[in-house]
Structure 1
């Protein structure tokens, strides 16, 4: 089920790794509590030719919220500096399997770039299978990228509040069940516990196999339906800070649902606003 617009296998990448117009991005990112340095790990070992995509820097640093969508001009300049541009097939991976790579896949799609796929199983699967890694910096040549931002793929807090009131979208939360219900405290200080009223919970881990790969499209659809999600409605994905929400977005794209958007601020924004309503419990 390799699809260069959504998800490709390690076998696919091994076959195409020397293609002249292939560009590989290491988009590893970890929660602060994990005490992992994604950049240092990239410098020590990465897939040959991979460039490091810094989710926290290729972002709107004017915002108080973490890794918000960067201005178009900044995205274009950073991609030029990475040597990624028009005519390239991009494969993005991370050090967890499928975690932060999906966020970069979604960001490229938001910027009108469709020739991008997540590496299924990421760096762990690549290494477990004995494929090569290196610690050499890539040779980069500038490449222009034409960006056409797809505004329908992102939602802000006002739009999400409206959707919550009207019930005309399915708001799908990728956080763990304990965080969704409010039983567990949020990892970021100062945030209330609970969820957006009317939202449904589908923890992103439910979409993955034990080896960190994504489930088959029919199993993904079944997971959404089992969570009580009405797939006839347009969807808005959410999570803690807009990273794992993109795994839900990728999963929907895999089984053919294309009317989805991502709430960029996610719970880091919603949970910090005392005037916004919250719900607790399983629904």
Structure 2
């Protein structure tokens, strides 16, 4: 199954009957927004998928916790998403938060979801049309959820499997944050990484703002996971973990789970073990 589409493909299919385009842009950690010239435009017909206001568990003390299945379904129905919809998601940074939505749909049992490779920046640089963002009215959908809770894990499960040789935990944060040599943007967190995990910065699977081609992606994942262990993905708060989960899916490696709380959870002051470059 395809997990991404090109800007050319989307431009050719903009008027497809069952196509739903979602803009999942959020600020990066630290508040960085997309380039100024991209902030007030969208791909024609795109609907805003609100990761921070709607599709999130607001009762959680962690930054980006998955919504409940009922809340997810209710939010999708207001966007006109149906069970037979082909959903294309993008973000204004290129490849950042859109894979989180791709993974969320998978968790909720909707398989027909793909990420626009390169996002809005690549769409614009390719010369395709945009429109000014305007308020969107509700469009009724009928999506049904088939929840796959095993695709998400918490710290207790991570603590169980970190020494299990059949799993490999990959961390999408920068190498400096992984090693504990660069500060965490959330100052209350410890530095370092989950013992036994490996570093795979999400930027390492991108080139010039788009994802590596399939052959290059396979070579990268074959190098870091030669035994094709069951992959578990972590990052700062559950967003870019989904970028490297998307990369693994493209590379035909086993996508097992995303650690939803990621370092925002594990890195809090606690008795959970942490490794750094000095250990």
The bucket for the TM-score relative to the shorter chain is: over 0.9
User: What is aligned with 1:202?
Assistant: 200
Distance 1:125 1:41, change over 3 A: closer
1:50-74 deviation per Cα after TM superposition (whole angstroms, max 9, x unaligned) = 0111111211111000120000110
Conservation of the 8 A alpha-carbon contact between 1:24 and 1:91:
yes
The match for 1:112 among 101, 109, 113 is 109
Q: How far 1:251 sits from its partner (Å)?
A: 0.9
**Aligned with 1:104: secondary structure?**
helix
**Aligned with 1:252: secondary structure?**
helix
1:167-189 deviation per Cα after TM superposition (whole angstroms, max 9, x unaligned) = 43100001100000000110012
Conservation of the 8 A alpha-carbon contact between 2:175 and 2:199:
yes
1:99-120 deviation per Cα after TM superposition (whole angstroms, max 9, x unaligned) = 1100000000000011010000
1:51-130 counterparts in 2 under 5 A? 51-57=47-53, 58-130=55-127
CA distance in 1, matches of 2:196, 2:5: 34
Please, what TM-score do these two structures have when normalized by structure 2?
Answer: 0.93
Gaps of 5+ in 1: none
1:30-53 deviation per Cα after TM superposition (whole angstroms, max 9, x unaligned) = 224244389x966x2101110111
How large is the RMSD of aligned CA atoms in angstroms? 2.0
Is 1:233 matched with 2:224? no
User: What is aligned with 2:12?
Assistant: 15
Q: How far 1:222 sits from its partner (Å)?
A: 1.7
CA distance in 1, matches of 2:219, 2:18: 36
Is 1:154 matched with 2:134? no
Gaps of 5+ in 2: none
Please, what TM-score do these two structures have when normalized by structure 1?
Answer: 0.92
Conservation of the 8 A alpha-carbon contact between 2:245 and 2:255:
no
User: What is aligned with 1:275?
Assistant: 271
Q: How far 1:20 sits from its partner (Å)?
A: 1.4
- Indicate the structure with greater strand content: 2
> Structure 1 residues 215-224 or 70-79, which shifts more?
215-224
CA distance in 2, matches of 1:238, 1:246: 8
CA distance in 1, matches of 2:23, 2:143: 19
The alignment of Structure 1 onto Structure 2 pairs a total of residues equal to 276
Is 1:266 matched with 2:277? no
The match for 2:142 among 144, 147, 167 is 144
Conservation of the 8 A alpha-carbon contact between 1:202 and 1:224:
no
User: What is aligned with 2:174?
Assistant: 176
**Aligned with 2:211: secondary structure?**
coil
Distance 1:88 1:70, change over 3 A: same
Conservation of the 8 A alpha-carbon contact between 1:91 and 1:117:
yes
User: What is aligned with 2:21?
Assistant: 24
Conservation of the 8 A alpha-carbon contact between 2:20 and 2:88:
yes
